[in-house]
Amino acid sequence: MEFFNQVGKKALGSRLRMLTEKITEDAAQIYKYYDIDMQPKWFPVFYVLSQGEAKTITAIAKEIGHSHPSVSKIISEMVKDGIVKEEKDEADGRRNMVSLSAKGDEITAKIQDQYIDLDKAIADITAQTRNDLWQAIEEWEFLLEQKTLLRRVQELKKERESQQVSIVDYNPAYQGAFRALNEQWISSYFQMEQADYNALDDPQGYILDKGGYILVALYKGEPVGVCALIKMNDPDYDYELAKMAVSPAVQGKSIGWLLGNAIAQKAKDLGARKIYLESNTLLKPAINLYHKLGFSKVAGRITPYERCNIQMELILK
């Protein structure tokens, strides 16, 4: 096991597979030793049916936690071997009921001694270990039901990569990126409108000189995201959150979340009470982000954008 000691937990799946293969190989030999005509993979289905009640494939799959196709394949193999039988349900002729055959009933009686010896053998192994494998498996199954290993790795990857993101103030060197990033996402879903050109062609005059702000997200030093606060002459709102765009090449690194939080904090630092935004419900990831940032839907305001079909506000606390 020197390899696994070197590699560590990264090889968890491989190590568990080796352990499973070893136990499965032993199980096959144990069946032969007790003269039981059984394959290890059949056992869950066999055991459920050995309790005496005929069941549908769907019910068996649900009870043992296997997929329907997997159980269906196992039952076909067991039918061919003569251990189980399928019959039409007397109450509902549209479905088949699966039960043990006479051969299966004989195995049920014959296998009881094997159960006794196997339980004692496993208890003996458990007594010689410091950790309860059965309990550990239950704990892992529960935790993975709450959040899969894949999801946990995805979250950690996102967290690690987000640490390589920095949010900086706009300067003229970023004008090209400001325009390109916004034009890229707008053109992917809609058409550029005059209000877009006004802001993107002259961010200094249209946004900054009027009391607004632009923040830029850098990933490994390269501008990959932008977001603006546009000063509003409105009794209800101080600023509009606008022109948020993130390069598709770096999505999944929490850049939108970092930009949104940073721009909201900037507005708060400036003494703003509420900020406003306009979007389109077609942009589901963006709408989800705004909700996550604390925005809620409002309605009834005049907009310069044809593509706008949702308006939202964030009350700053």
For the chain (length 317 residues), average pLDDT per consecutive 10? 82 92 96 96 96 92 95 96 90 84 96 96 93 92 94 90 91 95 92 91 94 95 95 91 94 90 94 93 93 91 86 92
Residue type, 285: P
CATH 2.60.120.10 fits 2-130, yes or no: no
Question: Which residues lie below 8 Å from residue 298, measured CB to CB, with a gap of 6+?
Answer: 276, 311, 312, 313
pLDDT at 5: 80
CATH 2.40.30.10 fits 164-315, yes or no: no
pLDDT at 1: 67
Helices then strands, counting H and E runs in the chain, come out as 14, 9
φ/ψ of residue 104, rounded to 5: -65, -40
Residue type, 152: R
Same fold across 2-130 and 164-315? no
Domain regions of the chain by residue span: 2-130, 164-315
| Cα distances (Å, whole numbers) of residue 3 to 6, 13, 63, 278 | 5, 14, 37, 56
